[in-house]
Structure 1
Amino acid sequence: MKNCPFCQNPSIQRYGIQNNIQRYKCTSCNKTFSLTKKLNPIKIWQDYTEGKQSYKQLAEKYHCSVRTIQRYLLKAPKTSLNSPQNHYLNLIIDTTFFGRKFGVMVFMDLHTKKVIYHQIVKTEKSVYYAVAINKFREKGYVIQSIICDGKGGLLKDIFNTPIQLCQFHQVAIVTRKLTMNPKSEAGKAFKGLVTQLKSSLKNEFYRELHYWYIIKIVLMNGLNIQMKKVIIHLNIAN
């Protein structure tokens, strides 16, 4: 027997279909409802954050309106960020944008792989990073190193802190300088070497880089202008 979920009155009537779901109306309290199972805000939150599904995709999946999805996302319990236990921090910092004016700036601790700070931003500015870093310093944390995507202003504002350009951006910069299909033998060999950067150990990569420099460059008519620019950029980044 179908009863009204609000007043338990068994006298209910069909009240149209919305999002392919049958709606009902109670003849006693006049409230409308559906008899489907209630949505799980935690599951919706997981689909939204981990599955990277949009509001519209979630609304179609759960047979409800976009507004309902937004409401359930607000209900989902959020895990609060805990303060880092180690007072010596090695940070990975970056900002990801979801649209033109909505971005999330994230700080992750390199060793624990946990997010220790985040902030909603409309633009990506070095001052946002500097302010966040100073907040940690004011609390007594020591910033040992920073990995970022090469923000010029940030490099100028932070003193006595080693900063490394993230390897993903290093590979992207080299690829952009060499083009996707380098013509010279040295360029082809160098591109193959750089693509192994993210999976190579430091000494191993340096050894292969030195071998490439001696064999492919010094013994092959010297450096051309394109290769000089790439090597100079790598030296600055590291």
Structure 2
Amino acid sequence: MHLDEDYNRSIPWIRKQIFEYEPVEKTHTPRAVVIVCDATFYGKKKDKLGTLIFKDILLGEVLIWKHVQSELAKDYKQLLQRILDLGYEVKAIIIDGKRGLYKALRDYPVQMCHFHQKKVIQRYMTMHPRLEAGKDLQKIMYNLTSTTQTIFTNKLNDWHEKHKYFLAERTINPDTLKESFTHQKLVSAYRSLKTNLPYLFTYKKHKKIKINNTTNAIDGGVFSPMTRCPLRVKSYSKYTMDLVKV
């Protein structure tokens, strides 16, 4: 992004506008909300620069946000408490499955993002698994968004029963003499599904509440323009305040 070219202005002028701009303070209208929450990070990993956002999917409004250096459960708990202190009633929460969040949000119906779950499994098995067990698990994943928890659970259990001896195979490292699973990535994929299974179908258990089964409402609608911003400037937080005001 080149603001000087976009606005046909000099770089000093652009900088002046950025540093002098003061965003309007957000006003809140307490009500019942269904929250989608996630964090996005800018630049390189070493920069440790990101923003955690809570958005109400019912009205499409960003409710609250916080700059973070890393994505920790305590930050989610802090923003959730601020939401409650402002008078909002949280009906459900949609997340992408970060470690520790299920425990932190245990008092609310939590939905695990289907898109992120599929990406996790894809990362372990690739898009074109060569092993029979991988191909079978991929077929089960294809139906995640169109099946029920009972059917999905039964298929996953059947898959594990069919391949349990294969999954249990171990290999000894000749250098360290330590044992590890021969098919560690497949084992990890299975464990991910077993861990997230209680939260993959929350949106179907609570049909009276409008719960999305993905975090797309925040990933595309909010994060996309934010990650394109020239956040190297010192006043990057001002950009964020305007961008999340939707």
Give the alignment's TM-score, normalised by structure 2.
0.57
Equivalent residue for 2:37, pick from 93, 116, 140: 93
For the pair 1:231 / 2:190, whether they are aligned, the reply is yes
Q: Is the 8 A contact 1:189 1:212 kept in 2?
A: no
User: 1:133 is matched by which residue type in structure 2?
Assistant: L
Match of 1:129, SS? helix
User: CA, structure 1 residues 148+212, in 2 after alignment: closer, same or farther (shift >3 Å)?
Assistant: closer
Bigger Cα displacement from structure 2, 106-115 vs 151-160: 151-160
In 2, the alpha carbon distance for the partners of 1:156 and 1:110 equals: 22
| Structure index of larger Rg | 1
What amino acid sits opposite 1:235 in the alignment?
Answer: K
Instruction: Write the mapping of 1:24-173 to structure 2, written as runs, cut at 5 A.
Output: 54=1, 57-73=2-18, 81-87=26-32, 89-99=33-43, 100-173=47-120
What is the identity, as a one-letter code, of the residue corresponding to 2:34? Answer: N
Q: Larger relative CO (CA 8 A, sep 6+): 1 or 2? A: 2
Letter in 2 for 1:96: T
Higher strand share: 1
Q: The residue matched to 1:183 in structure 2 has which SS?
A: coil
Higher helix share: 2
Tell me by how many angstroms 1:94 deviates: 1.0
Q: How much does 1:91 deviate?
A: 1.3
Task: Say if 1:90 and 1:143, in contact at 8 Å, map to a contact too.
Answer: yes
Task: Report the Cα distance in structure 1 between the residues aligned to 2:80 and 2:41, rounded to whole angstroms.
Answer: 20
Aligned to 1:51: none
**TM-fit CA distance, 1:202:** 4.4
Deviations 1:97-123 (A, max 9, x none): 222243221111132222111223333
Matched-pair contact (CA < 8 Å) for 2:35–2:90: yes
State the distance in 1 between where 2:12 and 2:142 align: 45
Matched residue count: 177
The sequence identity of aligned pairs, in percent, is 24
CA contact (8 A) 1:92 1:148 kept: yes
Between the aligned partners of 2:136 and 2:73, the Cα distance in structure 1 is 35
Task: Give TM-score scaled by structure 1 length.
Answer: 0.59
| CA deviation profile, 1:203-238 (whole Å, cap 9, x unmatched) | 3x8646745765x665x5656315454233212113
Residue by residue, what CA displacement relative to the aligned partner does 1:53-103 show, whole Å, maximum 9, x if unpaired?
A: x2xx2213333333322434567795764425533x321111112222432
